[in-house]
Amino acid sequence: MQVPVELKRRYLERRIQDIEHLISSLEVNDFAPALKLGHQVKGNAETFDFPQLAPLGIQIENAAKKQDKEGVQNLIHLMASEINLARQTFH
Question: What average pLDDT does the segment 46-50 reach?
Answer: 95
Confidence of residue 1 (pLDDT cuts 50, 70, 90): confident
Write out the CATH class of domain 5-88.
mainly alpha
pTM for the structure as a whole: 0.93
Residue 20 has pLDDT above 70, yes or no: yes
Radius of gyration of the chain (CA): 13
Q: Where are the domains of the chain?
A: 5-88
